[in-house]
């Protein structure tokens, strides 16, 4: 099993208007996965972030 998101990686859901991070789920060579809650509906989602250098956060940051 791989470790959850290590320190130093971006936190793309912090301050996001629609989604709030619940916890880190896992990380790997190409990215990481976070469990998030949709603030509007209360639904939970696993959100995968693919690291792309300085563009790792994309439109969520």
pLDDT score for 36: 98
Tell me how far CA of residue 41 lies from CA of 4, 19, 36, 54, in angstroms. Answer: 26, 10, 12, 31
Q: Does the pLDDT value for residue 46 go beyond 90?
A: yes
Q: Mind listing the domains of the chain with CATH numbers?
A: 1-51 (3.30.200.20)
Label residue 56 by pLDDT band (50, 70, 90): low
Mean pLDDT score, 18-45: 95
Query: Would you state the structure tokens that stand for residue 56, as one six-digit string?
Result: 């790792």
Residue 35's beta-bridge partner residues?
Answer: 23, 46
Residue 59 CA to residue 1 CA, distance in Å, equals 29
For 3-29, what is each residue's pLDDT tens digit?
A: 554 566 778 888 999 999 999 999 998
pTM of the model: 0.69
């Amino acid at each position: 099993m791989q470790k959850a998101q290590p320190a130093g990686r971006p936190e793309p859901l912090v301050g996001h208007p629609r989604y709030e991070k619940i916890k880190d789920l896992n990380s790997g060579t190409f990215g990481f996965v976070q469990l998030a809650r949709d603030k509007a509906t209360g639904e939970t989602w696993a959100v995968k972030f693919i690291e792309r250098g300085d563009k790792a956060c994309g439109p969520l940051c």
